[in-house]
Amino acid sequence: MSEPMPIKDNTSDIFLVEGILTELHVASGKENLLAQVDRHYRANSVITGMGAVVGDMFGQASAAASVALYDGEETEHFLCLIGDTVVGGTFAGASKLPVGKHVKAAVRQKETLASAEGILSESDGLVWLRHAWGAAAESIANFKIAAWCFGFSMVCVSAYILFIGGNPQESKLESILWIALPTAAICFGIAFWNSVTMNVLADPATGAFRVLGFADPEKVNLNSYQYGIVHGRALLHSDETRANHGNIHCYKKALEDGKVRMAST
């Protein structure tokens, strides 16, 4: 049986569910998913008692799913069983979830639905996450981008002033400094603002990383280990696209490269 195991952290409403993933239903659009589930279990409940039992579980969860799931059709919504827990959520690449295999899921309870923040398959070396950065990694990435933008801007400005000229009433160094100060304020101010606003995504990702067993979850960054990046060549020769794998990340590859660690190792 699947027993929720609460984890005490800054996102303490996220807990772990483990078990074999079965009864996977995936559709683009929330209403399409709920209609698919309803049709499937109405038919099965006539045939077997088990169909009626599972259908009742999904029926109870569907009401919560209609509220919890984002109402859009650009990505895949799913409902499944992990052990005996109904889990649902939204991942680009939900149709690739490993049916019949043992998985770990970091979830939040939303009424009768366990809403997935992340799902990890050890056997496949993959983790499904909507956001690939922990909170600290998000901030580091934002400030790296800010530093690059500031540096590039100042190279261009300095070259212009040195070779073409600036304010004739100031030295060239003064002209560069007067431009550098507001440029730095803008670049790093935007980085700070983005770090604060993106916590809406980074904090749940941090909680999911922690519950799924990653060491230093705040610093985890799997952005460069998206499935579409790691297996880009293979996807070029298939009907699949990177968008079909957008939220799938190859965490085992990151482990091999020494970019992340698991808490137990």
pLDDT at 76: 86
Closest-CA residue to 126 (of 228, 41, 219, 234): 228
Q: Render each residue's pLDDT in the chain as its tens digit; 265 residues.
A: 444 444 334 456 899 999 999 989 998 877 788 778 777 665 554 334 334 444 555 555 555 555 455 555 557 889 999 998 989 889 999 999 999 999 999 999 887 788 999 999 999 999 999 999 998 888 888 888 999 999 999 999 899 888 887 777 778 888 888 889 999 999 888 888 877 777 777 889 999 999 999 999 999 999 999 998 898 777 766 666 656 788 999 999 999 999 999 987 5
**At 45, which amino acid appears?**
S
Owner of token pair 């569907």: 62
Cα separation of 173 and 161, whole Å? 9
Owner of token pair 């060549």: 233
**At 144, which amino acid appears?**
K
Cβ neighbours for 256, distance < 8 A, ≥ 6 positions apart: none
E strand or H helix at 170, and its extent?
none
* Residue 15, CA atoms < 13 Å, CB-side half-sphere: 14
3-state secondary structure of 155: helix
pLDDT at 75: 73
Contact in structure between 195 and 206 (CB atoms under 8 Å): no
C-alpha 240: how far from chain center: 20
Contact in structure between 2 and 18 (CB atoms under 8 Å): yes
pTM assigned to the model? 0.74
